[in-house]
Amino acid sequence: MDGALSLRPSDAQAGAFLDDVDVTLKECRFVVWDYMGKASKPSTALKITMEDPDSITHEQYYSAGDPDKVLPSPDGKTLIPQAGATGLNNNTNALAFISSIINAGFPEDKLGSDASVFDGLGAHVNQVAQPKRQGLKDQKEGKTYLLVTKITRLPWEAAPVKPAKGAPVAKASPATTAGPRPVQPPMSQAGQPGGGNGDGVLTEKARATVISILTEKGGTVPRSKLSQEAFRLLASDPDRNAIVKLVYDDAFLQQSVAEGVFAFDGTTVSLG
């Protein structure tokens, strides 16, 4: 939508108590919120409708700014600037929540101005201490908000089928399936797999992931697709989120090029 504000962190609560739980973001929309009548003035907020593992719905509201400066679009998917506003204030809870999704590995190139891009995201969420913000009055000690700490499923990935209540849980079949084999983590000198054994081991594991992606995709892949492909390829890997972030990092890419691991022209990664 023309005139809508970018939601990218680089451009720049209320409800039932949740903590340390897997949820699905069913709907992400901007609304005007009056904190259930407790606020003297309504605020523009990002409303996140979450579903927990027991299929119970929770609503979380994250302040996005003064309605005099930013207002929700009619469908709630975007923010419309008012009075010359040019972006989300970096002190808002809404931007903190969006940033937590990006930091957990959501490809930032998928994010423009439409909050509904997060609809269907599977995530693990935790209560995190809110930082003290300069200029805000009446800040309470120990105040927290709910942020994404891990992505369990991207919106465009198929959701797992939930068994009916009382139905037996199917055991995993020993048969193998066709398709690309998962990347095996490189072994450290101590013979232990990556993850917690230093940045060097994680770097080598990320490089192996990129090589596997390039091999699978015919030798080239746009840099903007690397994180998405790594997330898919490392579905059950404990280092997935760290690698998803690393393969998009400029320093990682440039160092890998300098060491002859693969080629990168600023837009496309390819086998050397």
Tell me the C-alpha distance between 107 and 100, whole Å: 12
pLDDT of residue 190: 32
Global pTM value: 0.61
Written as six digits, the tokens of 196 are: 């917690």
pLDDT of residue 184: 42
Contact of 107 with 227, CB cutoff 8 Å: yes
Mean pLDDT of the chain: 80
pLDDT beneath 70: ranges in the chain: 1-3, 9-16, 133-141, 160-198
pLDDT of residue 136: 53
Best CA proximity match to 244, nearest among 154, 177, 118: 154
For the CA atoms of 123, 127, 129, 134, the dihedral, rounded to the nearest 10 degrees, stands at 70
Q: Terminal CA-to-CA distance of the chain, rounded, Å?
A: 40
C-alpha pair distances (Å), 253 with each of 38, 266, 269: 49, 9, 9
Q: CATH 1.10.10 in the chain, residues?
A: 199-270
Tell me the C-alpha distance between 152 and 11, whole Å: 26
Tell me the C-alpha distance between 96 and 144, whole Å: 12
CATH of 199-270, one of 3.90.550, 1.10.1660, 1.10.1060, 1.10.10: 1.10.10
